[in-house]
Amino acid sequence: MSSPCSTCAYSAPAGFPSSVAVIALTQGVYLGIGTVLPLFVQIVKGESAVISGLVVLPGALLSVAMALVSGKLYDRFGVHVPARAGSVCTLAGIALLATMPMDTSMPVVAIAYALCSVSVQLIITPCNTWGINSLSNSLVRHANAAAQTSNQISNSFMVALIISFSALSSVIAPKATELEAAYYGDKIAFIAAAAILLALAAFIAIFIRDRETDTIVE
């Protein structure tokens, strides 16, 4: 295949590009949150890097476990149930992060991030399986390569975009102290991530649907 990406774009069913877009944006937003959160813990809360790592550790461990469970959920319910539930729960987790006051306790921060981590897997694993299943065998390996490229580009862009929103604190609150500016910047970044997830949840509700040919295991 001389041009795998072009061939995938023109030959793949609509489900595959939709799944690639959803996965790329979800991963990008999740990485953006994972970049901002340690800054909140260390700068705003004044905690050490060790505490920052411990805050995100439960979410990372639960994310690995949920990656296995979400595959079973896809087999049982199809793509729309776990993906929609995941988008709503991820949005709830980010909303919790965006509304945290400066004196939020570390367990609350860890719970909010863990909710995001678990919910993201409810989106990614079912959507990936659903998108790959829509392809013919001849396109699968090329589609995987194209999807990985899209993910890398999206991850870099979304992290940079979400981090850049934190710089708006100087515009919104020019008289804030250094600590307040850091807090407002992180808050703006979380709000931006929530807005992106809200649009993504709407996209999932409209375009991510089980096909008539999909087989659901009873």
Q: What confidence tens digit (pLDDT) does each residue in 102-156 have?
A: 999 999 999 999 999 999 999 999 999 898 888 877 788 888 888 888 889 999 9
Give the DSSP letter string of 17-59: HHHHHHHHHHHHHHHHHHHHHHHIIIIIS---HHHHHHHHHHH
Range of the structural domain that residue 180 is part of: 25-128+139-207
Tell me the HSE value of 82 on the side-chain side, using a 13 A CA sphere.
27
| Average pLDDT over every residue of 178-200 | 93
In a domain, 17, yes or no: no
pLDDT digits (tens, 9 = 90+) for 100-112: 999 999 999 999 9
In a domain, 170, yes or no: yes
Check which CATH number belongs to the domain holding 194 and give it: 1.20.1250.20
In a domain, 133, yes or no: no
In a domain, 179, yes or no: yes
At residue 217, the pLDDT reads 47
How many whole angstroms separate alpha carbon 34 and alpha carbon 29? 9
Q: How many domains in the chain?
A: 1
In a domain, 201, yes or no: yes
In a domain, 117, yes or no: yes
**3-state class of 86 per DSSP?**
helix
Main-chain dihedrals φ then ψ at residue 38, nearest 5 degrees: -60, -30
In a domain, 192, yes or no: yes
At residue 218, the pLDDT reads 45
In a domain, 64, yes or no: yes
